[in-house]
Amino acid sequence: MATQKLPPLNWLKTFEAAARLLNFSAAARELNMTQSAVSQQIRLLEDCLDQPLFNRLPRRLSLTNNGRAYLPVVQEALHHLQRGTADIFSPLKEGKLTIQANTAFVVLWLAPRLKRFSSLYPSISVQIVNANWDSEFTAMPADLAIRHGLGSWPGLSNHRLVKPRMRPFCSPRVAERLSTGSDLLHQPLIEIMGNHENWNDWFSSLGIEVIDRGIRHQVDSAAIAVNMAANDFGVCLSYDSLMEGMVREGKLIAPFDAYMQTVDSFYLSYRQEYPLAKSAAVFRDWLLEDMEQVVID
């Protein structure tokens, strides 16, 4: 099979700007070129690919089906070329790090510790983008992702961050009403939608029969569940590593040592086919080392 010849880089940069702006004049201003030069390079690119990329209408411009499909490919390629060039030829002090992260992990664990990372690498700027569901993690290019799930995402290196086990957490006031695990049957319980295990599984692990489900609140974020529990609105299941700060501050307590093993965990993920940026590599190493030190007595 014949290999498609790659177009010149400047044609691709011109296409990216024109396709993103859907205006040759605006693309020319952005690229510091003339409109005729932009139009010519687009024509050369279309001839090279033997496919039209734009629908040229009297008063507007639109992408063809091939143009729409090609745009994210070109954008991703340019993004990685730009980042790779910067990482290889620029010092670490100029680094920028983009992280897509689960809200609960950011709020409960990462945010309180980012100052520590910044003190070690003060010139790395950090951009954190919220993402909780698998579909959200493919919406934009990022250096690293911190996500919750099974850890079996294809094409990614996945480092588990927390032990895959949960136990109940509640406010000290609610804990005063609890003596045994069965007492939780009479308390409002907070369930996190999307988790593979929840309260019925925890009761089952202790051999407690659930006859009456009682009050079950449902939320779609562990961060919400934890804050509800801290404010006496029920009991949640969570990982010790995430609760370390709230327990130390006296906002939450683990009334029982009874753990439920989970198939889910939090993972640090990044794409296998691309080398990590310098800033991403130092953050990965810092995060994995710091997670190993989190212990609740």
CATH at 143 = 3.40.190.10
65-96 pLDDT per residue, tens: 999 999 999 998 888 787 777 666 655 555 78
Residues 156 and 272 in one domain: yes
Residues 123 and 201 in one domain: no
Residues 130 and 153 in one domain: yes
Residues 149 and 176 in one domain: no
| pTM for this predicted structure | 0.69
Residues 285 and 142 in one domain: yes
Q: Which of 176, 16, 6 is nearest to 82 (CA)?
A: 16
Is residue 175 within 8 A of residue 252, CB to CB? The reply is no
Residues 239 and 175 in one domain: yes
Task: Judge whether 83 lies within some domain.
Answer: no
User: Beta strand pairing status for 125-130 and 260-261?
Assistant: unpaired
Total domain count, the chain: 3
Residues 61 and 128 in one domain: no
Task: Judge whether 4 lies within some domain.
Answer: no
pLDDT score at 297: 37
Residues 172 and 238 in one domain: yes
pLDDT score at 293: 60
93-131 pLDDT per residue, tens: 557 888 999 999 999 999 999 999 999 888 888 999 988
| End-of-domain residue from the set 56, 78, 100 | 78
Task: Judge whether 169 lies within some domain.
Answer: yes
265-284 average pLDDT score: 87
Place of tokens 């940026």: 277
Range of the domain at 43: 9-78
Residues 274 and 131 in one domain: yes
User: Beta strand pairing status for 260-261 and 156-160?
Assistant: unpaired
Residues 73 and 47 in one domain: yes
Terminal CA-CA length for the chain: 62
| End-of-domain residue from the set 58, 78, 98 | 78
- pLDDT exceeds cutoff 50 at 278: yes
Task: Judge whether 1 lies within some domain.
Answer: no
Residue 126: C-alpha distances to residues 118, 160, 220 (Å): 9, 22, 26
d(CA 193, CA 159): 23
Residues 155 and 286 in one domain: yes
Q: Which of 154, 173, 229, 177 is nearest to 199 (CA)?
A: 229
For residue 192, the surrounding DSSP H or E stretch is strand 189-192
Q: Which of 146, 150, 175 is nearest to 161 (CA)?
A: 146
